[in-house]
Amino acid sequence: MIKFFRKIRYDLMEKNKTGKYLKYAIGEIVLVVIGILIALSINNWNEEYKKKALMITNIKSIEEDVKVDIYDIQNTITILHAQALAAKNIIPIMESENRFIADSLRFIMDFSSFSTTPIISERPNTWSFLNSSGVVSEFPDSKLLTLLQDYYKNYNDVVTNFTNAANPVRLEIRKLKYELFSNTEHRKFFPTNSPKPPSVEVYNSIFEDGRILPLCRYIGSSANYFENSFNSVQSKAEIILDYVDEKYN
């Protein structure tokens, strides 16, 4: 092709056809410019395609992260719900004058459940990477961006508050259990697949220690509060999954 255009130039120059040569030269320049513009357009299209493909990959990765979050959240909600029910059972007994226990095994198992500390571990995720790398500023889906910003702020706030405010009290109950109960009595109901009620001394130690009731009240109250909080976070996570599934799958 280059040899073809070069031959045309030589023919025009040899025949002193200056006017035609100038027109040809201009046409050749125009063709070169058009070729450059086409190449730039193709390159820009490729770059945009790569960006879009990368962002969709990131969105799918975020989707998997949110699914893992929901798994952790559901496990936490299950534990908190059990603790809230346990509080409704044993706190009235502990606050009553006669402290009558209709079901001694249920009472001790409910009390033991207060020492369960749901842990939501902090782990690297795609959203954190996008924020730290500045890619979020180029996020193409404004609706999904808003959903993610709201979800992760709510998620991080609830997890941080729960870790700092709720779990330390549960750990305190766990420590007191081993302080108040002998190993022999403790092994009757925890940990075992066939729990049995311990001796009456175990129940008396719960009633007589002034630290126990306030801790139990706090655990019951915080279980209700954080169960609702985690339910709200889970709802936002499910909205994100529904949106991604509808638009990107």
**Cα 4 to the center of its chain, rounded Å:** 63
Tokens 């603790």 appear where?
Answer: 83
Quick: pLDDT tens for 7-47.
555 554 555 555 554 555 566 666 666 766 665 666 555 66
In this predicted structure, the answer to whether residue 196 has a pLDDT above a threshold of 70 is yes
Is 100 contained in some domain? yes
Is 211 contained in some domain? yes
Which residues, at least 6 apart from 51, have a Cβ–Cβ distance to it below 8 Å? 138
In this predicted structure, the answer to whether residue 184 has a pLDDT above a threshold of 70 is yes
Is 34 contained in some domain? no
Q: In terms of residue numbers, what domain contains 215?
A: 58-248
Q: Which residue has the higher pLDDT, 134 or 45?
A: 134
Domain count, the chain: 1
Cis peptide before 191 (omega within 30 of 0): yes
Tokens 């201009």 appear where?
Answer: 26
Is 42 contained in some domain? no
Largest interatomic CA distance in the chain: 123
User: Two tokens at 204?
Assistant: 């008396």
Is 10 contained in some domain? no
pTM, two decimal places: 0.80
Quick: pLDDT tens for 43-64.
555 666 667 777 888 899 999 9
Is 175 contained in some domain? yes
User: Two tokens at 59?
Assistant: 């969105």
Of all residues in the chain, what percent carry a pLDDT higher than 70? Answer: 80
Is 31 contained in some domain? no
Cα separation of 104 and 102, whole Å? Answer: 6
Residue type, 148: L
Contact 139, 145 (CB under 8 A): yes
Is 208 contained in some domain? yes
